[in-house]
């Protein structure tokens, strides 16, 4: 019985520690490299400033844009860059989506969100 309680205790501590790993970063419940998967509908719009921005892309950007630090981290993430995302183009997506509450003027690395 004591072994079972001990195992359960370590499992709870492990789960609590694991779930807290991401809470200190830009994206509270995940990592930017994991969040970038949500922006797959934005792939072409993040590579070409003349590409149409899809409704699905705008929806995801609106959600991530509620946390500008997370949105910025996602756009500048290693996964995004290795997928061909051009940060100087990606930061224009909130404006191209005509999002009323976009983080205008937010400094994102070397870029400022228009």
pLDDT band at 23 (very low <50, low <70, confident <90, very high): very low
Average pLDDT, the chain: 80
Tell me the average pLDDT across 28-46: 92
**CA-wise closest residue to 106 among 79, 57, 60, 73:** 73
* Domain parsing of the chain, residue ranges: 26-112
pLDDT at 4 over 50: no
Second CATH level (architecture) for the domain 26-112: Orthogonal Bundle (1.10)
Q: Name residues whose C-beta falls within 8 Å of residue 110's C-beta, 6 or more positions apart in sequence.
A: 87
Please state the pTM of the whole predicted model. 0.73
Q: Could you tell me which residue, 2 or 63, shows the higher pLDDT?
A: 63
pLDDT score for 36: 92
**CA-wise closest residue to 93 among 34, 79, 13, 60:** 60
Long-range Cβ contact pairs of 50-59 (< 8 A, separation 24 or more): 53/93, 53/96, 53/97, 57/93, 57/97, 58/93, 58/97, 58/99
């Amino acid at each position: 019985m004591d072994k079972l309680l001990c195992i359960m205790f370590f499992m709870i501590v492990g789960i609590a520690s694991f779930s807290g790993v991401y809470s200190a970063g830009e994206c509270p419940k995940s990592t930017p490299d994991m969040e970038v998967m949500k922006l797959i509908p934005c792939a072409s719009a993040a590579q070409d400033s003349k590409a149409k921005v899809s409704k699905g892309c705008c929806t995801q950007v609106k959600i991530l844009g509620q946390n500008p630090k997370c949105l910025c981290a996602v756009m500048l993430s290693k996964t995004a860059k290795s997928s061909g995302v051009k940060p100087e183009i990606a930061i224009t997506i909130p404006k191209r989506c005509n999002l009323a509450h976009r983080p205008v003027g937010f400094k994102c690395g070397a870029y400022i969100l228009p």
